[in-house]
Structure 1
């Protein structure tokens, strides 16, 4: 495991678990860094947060570059940013962010795919039941979905201005 560096400006660290959780719950997308054979890859995906499993779920293809990277090396690092805007004429940007370390896996079972899609839709959509009725009407559709799960191991937070 790579040693973690501490924030140089400790007063900007977000330590309160409720505040870290609020950033995750408010966010809609995360940028995920992966590595395979010393080659980096980064991707931005919409997510749903499962508070009970302390995991993020993503919709994806069942095959492709992400899946190849994940199969080879499940260790990932992700960031979620709550952008509060650039402050004009002050040369500053206000934000809160979390960095997440964890392991990412392909979701294999039908039951977990259904659970994952529920988590994703209820996190992102205003009317998730309508989407489910219109687009997810049978098990064949779920079987063909690619879903990913990021099991969170560690979270660090920071705010800035």
Structure 2
């Protein structure tokens, strides 16, 4: 499938540090999935591992999202930094990141712990409290659904 480019090239965010700031500031992304020609979209909180260039998500191991991922691991996602509607200008200021990659369920206990740690560090002010109260033993992790999005491409743009 051909890749489309921005029509207004001056709106591309090419600075990797700026893209990373948008990713780190965000708390959720909207994930687009497709299976047998049927689209599905879902919003998830995430954690981003910069060193591995992957996103981690907490998810149930069964259900529509799981069925779509198992049927087609190729996904597209977006993170939007909403800077607000500009009254009397019919304009909206934003920055967005579009991520393309492949989504998988994490199977190993060690990576589940690692992925959940990345997720908690991104979302929580006090991740140790959650670990102590909710993630106290290996059995909890064995039953936990953790998804990993292996990034192929990240692009950004801004608009007004």
TM, length-normalised to structure 1 = 0.98
> Following the alignment from structure 2 to structure 1, what is the Cα–Cα distance between the partners of residues 35 and 103?
13
Q: Deviations over 1:129-160 (max 9, x none)?
A: 01110110000011111010000000110001
3-state SS of paired residue (1:18): helix
Q: Give the Å deviation of 1:28.
A: 0.4
Residue 144 of structure 1: aligned partner: 143
For structure 2, the 5+ residue unaligned runs are none
For structure 1, the 5+ residue unaligned runs are none
Residue 59 of structure 1: aligned partner: 58
TM, length-normalised to structure 2 = 0.98
**Paired residue total:** 160
> Following the alignment from structure 1 to structure 2, what is the Cα–Cα distance between the partners of residues 94 and 129?
36
The alignment status of 1:121 with 2:123, answered yes or no, reads no
> Following the alignment from structure 1 to structure 2, what is the Cα–Cα distance between the partners of residues 74 and 62?
14
Q: Deviations over 1:88-144 (max 9, x none)?
A: 111111100010000000011110110010000000000000111011000001111
Residue 20 of structure 1: aligned partner: 19
> Following the alignment from structure 1 to structure 2, what is the Cα–Cα distance between the partners of residues 100 and 152?
7
> Following the alignment from structure 2 to structure 1, what is the Cα–Cα distance between the partners of residues 2 and 55?
24
> Following the alignment from structure 2 to structure 1, what is the Cα–Cα distance between the partners of residues 110 and 67?
23
